[in-house]
Copies of this chain bind each other. A is one copy, B any other.
Amino acid sequence: MKRELRIGLIGAGRIGQLHGNNLVCSVPEAKLSAVAEINLNDSVIAWAKGLGIEKISENPGDVINDENIDAVFICSSTDSHAELIIQSAQAGKHIFCEKPIHTEVKEIKKALEEVEKAGVKLQIGFVRRFDHNHKKVRDTVASGQLGRPHIVKVTSRDPEMQPLKYILTSGGIFMDMTIHDFDMVCYLTGSEVTEVTAYGSIMITPEIEQCGDVDTAIVMMKFKNGALGVIDNSRAARYGYDQRTEVHCDKGCVQVANDLKDTSMISTVDGVICEKPTWFFLERYNGAFIAESKAFVAAVLEDKEIFVGGADGLISVYIAMAAEISLKENRSVRLEEVM
């Protein structure tokens, strides 16, 4: 019996092409045979042909309803995710969907119901779970070798401010940026967030005050198992993509530092200069993107449980919602308030 997963890609922008390249070059069991991009142009067509993709379309339905496709990668704009999940599930396709599923809980729930009804698999693109560093923290905690977790800390800073235009429509720092970290703290502790308090400040770009957003934030949280957590975010670290995690437990602490561009150390009378962290998510999470595609393909082919599914996508949205309320009303917010 042939073990191959026939995949169709929906959305061939930056992240879609990234997944496409990875599926072709690094996931031997995957066969990328169709792509749909509503803004189809020569560049996209050339890219798809270069990868040997035979079926190229402007219409996602052409991929979803293709009988020779087993699974879809949904990499289109966020507002289309929920609807495409529903159509794909109804067509019996397994689904990999970029995060977030949607910014509205109602839409997410509708999509998840269809997935469940159809009995297909759904994986959400929380790529950081597949990063060699964070995974090591999680595996160490999950092994129990350090006992119960007490404190989880996540430092997550983008290298440079996104364009103001992007920020204004991003849904706010918690839904756009911290949502990765909300998933991360749940992943690392293996427990559920019950309550959050968020502090925010505008330190980088005064203009974002217009839309009630902040560019610098710290969010503190409580977990069901008694642990406490904290995330600190900045929209502009300047020195690169700062992605560190740490869990302190009964018997000690596990932490990971950033990946650096190289391990050089230049020592002179002026000081010792080392390299900066890798620049942004494409560099830092390159291996993790491949690993998440491999994990999805393997889970479908071997009918195993998906590692990060729809429920994980939903819970992160709840936490982001609670953080937003906390920031606006300057109070601690229990998660059940927004669920």
Contact = CB atoms under 8 A, between A and B. Distances in A.
Interface in A218-243: 218, 220-222, 226-230, 232, 234, 237-240, 242
Interface of A: 21, 24-26, 28, 50, 52, 132-133, 135-137, 140, 146, 148, 150-151, 153, 155, 157, 197, 199-204, 216-218, 220-222, 226-230, 232, 234, 237-240, 242, 248, 250-269, 271-277, 330-332
A99 to B, nearest CB: 23
A26 B28 contact: no
A22 B300 CA distance: 27
30 contacts: A52-B52, A133-B262, A133-B264, A136-B262, A136-B275, A137-B264, A148-B203, A151-B234, A153-B155, A197-B199, A201-B228, A203-B227, A217-B228, A218-B229, A232-B248, A234-B248, A237-B267, A239-B267, A239-B268, A239-B269, A239-B271, A252-B267, A252-B268, A253-B266, A254-B266, A256-B263, A256-B264, A265-B274, A272-B273, A330-B332
Given A228-B201, A272-B274, A275-B272, A267 B253 contact: yes
A257 to B, nearest CB: 4
Nearest to A196: B199
A6 to B, nearest CB: 15
A151 B266 contact: no
Contacts of A52: 52
A220 B218 contact: yes
A261 B332 CA distance: 39
B237 A248 contact: yes
Given A25-B24, A218-B230, A264-B255, A238 B199 contact: no
